[in-house]
Structure 1
Amino acid sequence: MTDFSDYLPYAFALIVAIPFLVLLRQFVYTYINLKNQEIKLLSLKSNSENKTHSYERMTLFLERIKPSNLILKFDKDLAAHEFVFLTEKTISEEFDYNSSQQLYITKNSWQNIVNSKNAIIDLLHKTYESLDNHPNLDEFKTIFIMNYMNDNDYISATIEDLRREILIIA
């Protein structure tokens, strides 16, 4: 017959170790869950920051292409057709630079931004074509601003839409 007293220290150690191992397992499981939640929150925060940054950049772009800001650019010694060319080039380059922001902006807002950009470029060309053969730059700028003011202020409307959307996101 076997003497169970030889196994008593092992049994005692096992009885003491089992609750400790269960608690350790529960701690590790809880720790992993908390870390996963933290990672999710950080990714949501990062995504929200990207969206906010995108709305800021596109608002700045729209402000820059307002006719009142465009007429302040470039040398006053330019001919009107040179001003039109350089302004269109600048708008297109800045738009291309910011085009990746469409990933974070709603489809409707992005379309409004594209439409605003195209409308300004069209207005530049229509204003130039409506004037005499060689208008001076000051005359061109004045008529350009007046044509924009006579039309709907689509840039401000687009900026206001962006402002409303960012309030929903934030």
Structure 2
Amino acid sequence: MTSFSGYLPYAFALIIAIPFLVLLRQFVYTYINLKNQEIKLLSVKSNSENKTHSYERMTLFLERMKPSNLIQRFDKNLAVHEFIFLTEKSIHEEFEYNSSQQLYLTKNSWQNIVNSKNAIIDLLHKTYESLNNNPDLDEFKTVFIMNYMNDEDYIAATIEDLRREILIIA
């Protein structure tokens, strides 16, 4: 028969170590959970900031597309067809630059922005086609703004939709 007295120090060390190991495991588990929650909060905050930034950028894009702002661009000595070409080119370039923002916008908002962009480009061409007698640039710009004002203000409506959506997000 063997004596258990030789194992007594090991049993005593094990009895003391088990609660310590349980507490250490609990501490590590709690620490990991807190870090995961912190990462999630930072991710949500970052995503919210990205959405806000996207709405700001697209609102700026829409403001720059308003005819009252478009007519102030470029040299006043351009021919009408040159003005239309440069205006359309700048709208397309700015739109392409901002196209990644659709990731943070609702489908409806993005579609309204695309429709507004296309409507402005169509209005440029329709205004030019309606003026048969080779107008000068000032006459074209005046008719362009008048045509926009006589139609539905779709840019302002789109900006208002963006404003309502950002209030819901914030």
Q: What range is the shorter-chain TM-score in?
A: over 0.9
% identical equivalent positions: 88
Which residue is 1:25 aligned to? Answer: 25
Once residues 32 and 95 of structure 2 are traced to their aligned partners in structure 1, the CA distance between those partners, rounded to angstroms, is 44
Amino acid in structure 1 at the alignment position of 2:71: I
Q: Which amino acid aligns with 1:60?
A: L
Report how far residue 162 of structure 1 moved. Answer: 0.5
How far 1:44 moved relative to its partner?
1.4
Deviation at 1:96, TM superposition (A): 1.1
SS, match of residue 34 in structure 1: helix
CA-based RMSD:
1.1
- Report what 2:6 is aligned to: 6
Q: CA-to-partner distance for each residue in 1:11-64, whole Å, 9 max, x for gaps?
A: 221111110000001111111111111111122122111111111111110000
Q: CA deviation at 1:112?
A: 0.3
Structure 2, unmatched stretches of 5+, are none
1:75-94 equivalence runs, <5 A: 75-94=75-94
**1:139-158 to 2 correspondences below 5 Å:** 139-158=139-158
Which deviates more, 92-101 or 39-48? 39-48
> How many pairs align?
170
Query: 1:44 is matched with which residue?
Result: 44
Counterparts of 1:163 and 1:56 in 2: how far apart (Å)?
Answer: 9
Question: Which residue in 2 is equivalent to 1:68?
Answer: 68
Q: How many Å separate the matches in 1 of 2:22 and 2:100? A: 50
Residue 5 of structure 1 and its aligned partner are, at CA, apart by 2.9
Counterpart in 2 of 1:122? 122
Q: Indicate the SS of the match to 1:7.
A: helix
Please report how far the alpha carbon of residue 3 of structure 1 lies from its aligned counterpart in structure 2 after TM superposition. Answer: 3.2
The more displaced of 32-41 and 107-116 is 32-41
Supply the distance in 2 between the matched residues of 1:76 and 1:146 (Cα, whole angstroms): 19
Task: Read off the aligned partner of 1:39 and give its amino acid letter.
Answer: I
For residues 50 and 130 of structure 1, the distance between their equivalents in structure 2, rounded to whole angstroms, comes to 42
- The one-letter amino acid paired with 1:26 is Q
- Please give the secondary structure, in 2, of the residue aligned with 1:135: coil
What is the letter of the counterpart of residue 111 of structure 1?
Answer: Q
**Runs of 5+ unmatched residues, structure 1:** none
Deviation at 1:8, TM superposition (A): 2.3
AA of the residue aligned to 2:168: I
The question of 1:99 aligning with 2:88 is answered no
